Amino acid sequence: MNKYNPLNESRSLLERAAEIYDYVPVVRDQAGESDESRLLPPENSHQSQPTAGSVPVAAYAGPRVIVDRDKLREAGFIVPDGPVTGISEEFRIIKRQLLLTAKGSQRQAPVPHGERILICSAHPNEGKTFSALNLALSIAAEKDNEVLLVDADFAKPSILSSLGLEGNKGLMDALADPELPVENCIIHTDIPGLAILPAGDQTNADTEYLASSRTEQVLNRLTQNNPNRIVIFDSPPALSASPASVLATHVGQVLMIVKADETTETALRDALSLMAGCEHIQLLLNGTKFSPTGRRFGSYYGYGE
């Protein structure tokens, strides 16, 4: 700026400053709302690098939602920022072993793809979705990790309904459509550290899509820019639908839910044989009514059940 190049006094303060400092101001629409304020990236998201002369835009273009805490409480799930309960304490213990396996420790190296955890069961109604969602809520409370909960039960998805959320494009859509970025299907919630990837549209070829080379590419995109993200897959029952066995080849850990007094040893052995694509399998006993050691988590904090 000099006497031969005076500022245009009729322009706004931001526009005049742009001439001096050579930056592009945010363009406002007729309602006075900036494009930038209408497209805010979620916490910890990565923005695409702007090109010369362009306005930076967020890489993430999916929805953000509010989770119904009352619905969580009524269904017996962990409530974020809620009181310490027996359930929340149990999942604190469960997640610690899974996180150690994923991240490694002084005594053991991290497991390849250990950040991908498959939650499965032999048969329906043994508690896999209940466990997957509670595990995700528990990990979301971590200070150094965030969690992406993937509804991979394509035939009977239930994660969204459990949270009181509506349907959206999801994993199967991203696998079927090479032009659809999987990150644009992710739903970010108002619970810090928790995001959801829905199952997506149903198809009769879900197993074939999962077995394709594109699946590994899509799954890599879920964590490639976020090393602190844990991905939890709510799988179909192993003895009821074939996708579970294929999903096991893409994860580093499998958590097999065993329902007390219901899951038979024969069914468990059969289910475990189908999970052979993953080397690290652990069992979680669900629905126990008696502890021989008298363990009663939650009561120490004054909120015993």
pLDDT of res. 105? 84
Domain housing 155: 64-301
Residue 30 within a domain: no
pLDDT of res. 10? 52
> Is residue 86 predicted with pLDDT exceeding 60?
yes
Q: 253-259 and 229-234: which strand pairing?
A: unpaired
Q: Which of 136-140, 161-165, 285-289, 298-302 has the highest mean pLDDT?
A: 136-140
CATH (domain of 288): 3.40.50.300
Instruction: Please count the CA atoms within 13 angstroms of the CA of 264 that sit on its side-chain side.
Output: 4
pLDDT of res. 157? 95
Residue 101 within a domain: yes
pLDDT band at residue 142 using 50, 70 and 90 as cut-offs? very high
Residue 70 within a domain: yes
Tokens of 7: 């500022």
Residue 43 within a domain: no
Q: What value does the mean pLDDT take over residues 236-256?
A: 97
> What predicted TM-score, i.e. pTM, was given to this entire model?
0.76
pLDDT of res. 33? 39
pLDDT mean across residues, the chain: 81
Q: What value does the mean pLDDT take over residues 248-252?
A: 97
Report yes or no: 261 and 180 within 8 Å, Cβ to Cβ.
no
Compute the distance between CA of residue 32 and CA of residue 98 in angstroms, rounded to an integer: 48
Q: What is the pLDDT of residues 253-302, one digit of tens each?
A: 999 999 999 999 999 999 999 999 999 999 999 988 755 555 555 444 54
pLDDT of res. 293? 58
Q: What is the pLDDT of residues 4-49, one digit of tens each?
A: 445 455 554 445 444 544 434 333 343 333 333 333 334 444 333 3
Residue 41 within a domain: no
DSSP category for residue 34: B
Q: How many domains does the chain have?
A: 1
Give the number of residues written for the chain: 305
Report yes or no: 223 and 115 within 8 Å, Cβ to Cβ.
yes
Residue 262 within a domain: yes
pLDDT of res. 14? 43
pLDDT of res. 53? 39
pLDDT of res. 17? 43
* Surface-to-core class of residue 269, CB atoms within 10 Å of its CB (0-12 exposed, 13-18 middle, 19+ buried): exposed
Place of tokens 């939602």: 65
Q: What value does the mean pLDDT take over residues 162-170?
A: 88
Residue 87 within a domain: yes
Percent of the chain beyond pLDDT 70? 74
Residue 214 within a domain: yes
